[in-house]
């Protein structure tokens, strides 16, 4: 094993971790504001990733154009999903609402995966862009990887600015910290929760396009991604974008190094082991938005 091969694997882990962080951003916002564990979150990425690959191969659409098409569609889907299926459960008691939210999101996960598999097939797909790669010694760096990393960094910065510089973002942070106080100050918490759920869905749709540019996507890959996103939230803190980004990078690099130094079969289980360790070691957790 050479130092070049280790650096090559670290670069791949950095890219994978950045994509994990993007998936976790939306889920972190949804749980931080709406208090719902959306088990269909990763499936939205899987479905939009499959749709993105079809748009790329069939209509020859540019990935940026695909993002501009899928992000509003996912936003509208998330908004309607919350208003018509999840929000009415808030009228029930806490236990019934919690169980109902789990059943609705898990049911949506299964239905979306099956419908996508029937309509588009269950085979793996991707967005194969042809860019020249350049070499630094024996290390091969793909231009596509660099573009994706730039996209991840840009989206992270945009989300941070949105939460800290806009009225809607400040309202989201206010509801997270004190919902009653935010309502007294004129924040419509019900509408803000629906917008947050929709915004989280749009974010994962953008992440789906970037994911499909690097890794294959399929209709049934959503739940493992959701588990990884939950792990990142536990490690990085609920609503903490900076913590989620660093936790995502850590998880991606750890999985890549596990596959290199041990066995690739153990890499997917690493997220579950890490989450259990964090829950046992720091049961009080941490929570901070942006």
Task: Read off the pLDDT of residues 222-231 as tens digits, 9 standing for 90 and up.
Answer: 999 998 998 8
Task: Quote the tokens at residue 23.
Answer: 């998936």
Q: Which residues pair with 217 in a beta bridge?
A: 125
**What's the rounded mean pLDDT across residues 219-239?**
86
Residue 218 confidence (pLDDT) above 60: yes
Q: What is the dihedral of CA 87, 93, 96, 101, to 10 degrees?
A: 20
The mean-pLDDT minimum among 33-42, 105-114, 173-182, 246-255 falls in: 173-182
CA dist 68 and 58 (Å) reads: 17
Domains of the chain listed by start with CATH number? 3-126+133-281 (1.10.3470)
Q: What is the pLDDT confidence band of residue 107, given thresholds at 50, 70 and 90?
A: very high
**What's the rounded mean pLDDT across residues 24-45?**
89
So what's the pLDDT on residue 73?
Answer: 97
So what's the pLDDT on residue 257?
Answer: 84
Terminal alpha carbon distance of the chain: 40
């Amino acid at each position: 094993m050479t130092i070049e091969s280790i650096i090559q694997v670290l670069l791949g882990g950095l890219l994978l971790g950045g994509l994990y962080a993007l998936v976790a951003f939306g889920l972190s916002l949804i749980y931080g504001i709406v208090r719902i564990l959306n088990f269909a979150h990763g499936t939205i990425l899987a479905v939009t990733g499959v749709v993105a690959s079809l748009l790329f191969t069939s209509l020859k659409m540019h990935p940026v154009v695909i993002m501009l098409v899928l992000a509003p569609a996912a936003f509208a889907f998330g908004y309607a999903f919350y208003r018509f299926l999840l929000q009415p459960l808030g009228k029930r008691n806490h236990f019934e609402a919690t169980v109902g939210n789990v059943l609705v999101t898990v049911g949506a996960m299964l239905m979306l995966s099956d419908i996508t598999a029937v309509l588009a097939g269950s085979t793996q797909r991707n967005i194969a862009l042809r860019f020249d790669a350049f070499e630094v010694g024996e290390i091969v760096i793909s231009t596509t990887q660099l573009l994706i990393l730039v996209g991840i960094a840009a989206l992270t910065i945009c989300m941070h600015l949105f939460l800290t510089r806009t009225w809607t973002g400040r309202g989201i942070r206010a509801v997270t910290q004190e919902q009653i106080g935010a309502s007294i100050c004129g924040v419509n918490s019900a509408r803000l929760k629906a917008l947050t759920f929709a915004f989280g869905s749009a974010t994962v749709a953008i992440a789906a396009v970037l994911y499909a540019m690097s890794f294959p996507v399929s209709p049934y890959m959503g739940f493992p991604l959701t588990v990884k996103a939950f792990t990142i939230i536990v490690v990085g803190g609920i609503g903490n974008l900076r913590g989620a980004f660093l936790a995502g990078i850590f998880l991606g690099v750890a999985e890549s190094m596990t596959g290199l130094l041990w066995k690739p079969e153990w890499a997917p289980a690493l997220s579950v082991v890490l989450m259990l360790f964090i829950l046992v070691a720091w049961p009080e957790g941490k929570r901070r938005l942006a």
